[in-house]
Amino acid sequence: MTVCAGSHCMRIRLLSHRDLAAILEIQNSSRQASAWEETDYEQLLGDNQGMVLVAETEGAVPPEILGFAVFHKVGEESELWNLAVAPRHQRRGVAKALFQEARRRLLQAGVAAIFLEVRASNAPALGFYRALGFKTLMRRKRYYQDPSEDALVLSIDLAPPSGN
């Protein structure tokens, strides 16, 4: 999928092995992203229930990776396991474009809802998820360590209710 905002266009596609260094760099530039190892992403590449999407510049040679999102499907539900956009490309619609393409693919795969956990103090991520329509389901006390913090569990229904 290609998405344009003004004169900037980006392409959203599935992760490939050659993207691993770039997404690890983006992940490691953000304290709030889950700190995964390269092997974690490699495992997901071979997992039928896993889906890792990357956003890259369209038109530039070579393209620059702007951000990524990791989903894992469990039956009719999907969990958002990781998400980060390179700091200098934030607030340009990159995460929104990743989510729109994920939503399209997950609906096609029969997924009805997405769930995620987020640190209660992560205001940028909460602002993003709420802008997309996620609702808070519950608070998990001291769910995170280093530093210890509550998690908020958020979810969104993907399919609009039928019949109205």
Ligand X SMILES: CC(C)(COP(=O)(O)OP(=O)(O)OC[C@H]1O[C@@H](n2cnc3c(N)ncnc32)[C@H](O)[C@@H]1OP(=O)(O)O)[C@@H](O)C(=O)NCCC(=O)NCCS
* Amino acid at residue number 115: F
Contact predicate 80/92, CB 8 Å: no
Residues in 6-65 at the binding interface with ligand X, rule: CB under 6 A:
30, 32-33
Shortest distance, CB of residue 15 to ligand X, whole angstroms? 16
The correct pick among 10, 12, 44, 94 for binding ligand X (CB under 6 A) is: 94
Q: Is 90 in the site for ligand X (CB under 6 A)?
A: yes
Query: 44 or 125: whose CB is closer to ligand X?
Result: 125
Classify residue 68 by burial, with Cβ atoms within 10 Å: 0-12, 13-18, 19+: buried
As separate numbers, helices (DSSP H) first and strands (DSSP E) second, the chain gives: 4, 8
Q: Residue 128 carries which DSSP code?
A: H
Catalytic (active site) residue 117: yes
Query: 18 or 88: whose CB is closer to ligand X?
Result: 88
Interface ranges with ligand X (CB under 6 A): 30, 32-33, 83-85, 90-96, 118, 122, 124-125, 127-128, 131
